[in-house]
Structure 1
Amino acid sequence: MAMSTGGNTGGPMSEINVTPLVDVMLVLLIIFMITAPLMSHSITIDLPTANPKTKDEDLPVPPLDLAIKEDGTMFLNDHPATEAELKAQFAVEAQKSPQPELQIRADKSTEFKIVKKVIGDAKDSGMVHVGFMTHDVPKG
């Protein structure tokens, strides 16, 4: 409690200095005035519902899995593929709606120029969804 000495009497003054209290209350009032309108706004969210009777065409498109080995050999969905076959397959898949994602799994010692060439071929064919897959090697 803030107390000050009285003028001529020399004894303690029993009045409280309310200026800091008023300052704190005004700051709190301003904070509540700003935040109160934000509390009254509601956001509506449309949550998806589970439907056990989904059709096959409603399911997501399976991705294209492209594995690139260290020596540059490529496997599209576990089948050996040449660069020309990849370009043709990319052109076909790019025309589909929705377009499947191309997931690239490259060996860690594969030269980047090979991966860059594949990405460029996919982009030139019209593929827009390209991702990289990784996997953890167990320590042992």
Structure 2
Amino acid sequence: MARSFHRKRSLEPNSELNVTALIDLGFALLIIFMISTPLIEKEQVMEVDLPVSGQSSEKAQPKSVDITVLKDGYRVDGNLMGEPELERELAGFATMSKAPVISIRGDAETPYQRIMNLMDLLKEYELGKIHFVTKEKE
């Protein structure tokens, strides 16, 4: 009588997932990041001895400018000026690489036309970052 030593194969699918290759990949990436991170930090902290110049080519640009509209004129960052001086000041802001935010404060007694004149000047010089300052009702 002949014996068969083969196992009978079951027809059920193998439901186990082989993740060995994924774990190897994860460890390889971890080692790469551990080696490259200190190199990136050294690159950002590299000190350079910059040359010194006699004059600064750029003056400090303001991030915001306060314009108060009064009955008799305008106050730009506390300096009282008329409409021609205000126009020259706004022309200077328009030439900056990054235009400042204009905060407009209107006195309650100021005629609305003066505020509209300021808005027209801001539109003419393409100064679109505008903030109206108000106070809350009491």
How far apart are 1:127 and its partner, in Å? 1.2
Q: Structure 2: where are the runs of 5+ without partners? A: 1-60
Percent identical across equivalent pairs? 19
Q: Deviations over 1:65-85 (max 9, x none)?
A: 00112x232110001011011
Q: What whole-Å deviation, never above 9, does each CA across 1:86-114 have from its counterpart, x for those lacking one?
A: 11111110111211011110012211111
Q: TM-score, normalised by structure 2?
A: 0.51
- Cα pair 1:67 1:106 within 8 Å, conserved: yes
Distance apart, 1:131 and its partner CA? 1.7
Q: Structure 1 pair 79/61, CA: closer, same or farther in 2 (3 Å)?
A: closer
Counterpart of 1:68 in structure 2 is 69
- 2:65 maps to a residue whose letter is L
User: RMSD between aligned alpha carbons?
Assistant: 2.2
State the TM-score, normalizing by the size of structure 1.
Answer: 0.50
For 1:123 and 1:66, how far apart are their aligned partners in 2? 15
Provide the C-alpha distance between the structure 1 equivalents of 2:82 and 2:119, rounded to a whole number of angstroms.
14
Query: Which letter maps to 2:106?
Result: A
**1:111 partner amino acid:** P
Residues in 1 aligned to 2:130 and 2:124: alpha-carbon distance in whole angstroms: 12
Contact 2:64–2:101 (CA under 8 A) maintained in structure 1: yes
Quote the Cα distance in structure 1 between the aligned partners of 2:128 and 2:88: 16
Map 1:23-34 to 2 at 5 A. none
1:127 and 2:118 correspond: no
Q: CA deviation at 1:61?
A: 4.2
Structure 1 gap ranges (5+): 1-59
Give the ranges of 4+ consecutive aligned residues of structure 1 lying more than 3 Å apart after TM superposition.
none
Tell me if structure 1 keeps the 8 A contact 2:73–2:83.
Answer: no
Number of matched residues?
79
Distance 1:61 1:92 in 2: 11
Residue in 1 that maps onto 2:91? 91
Following the alignment from structure 2 to structure 1, what is the Cα–Cα distance between the partners of residues 130 and 85?
18
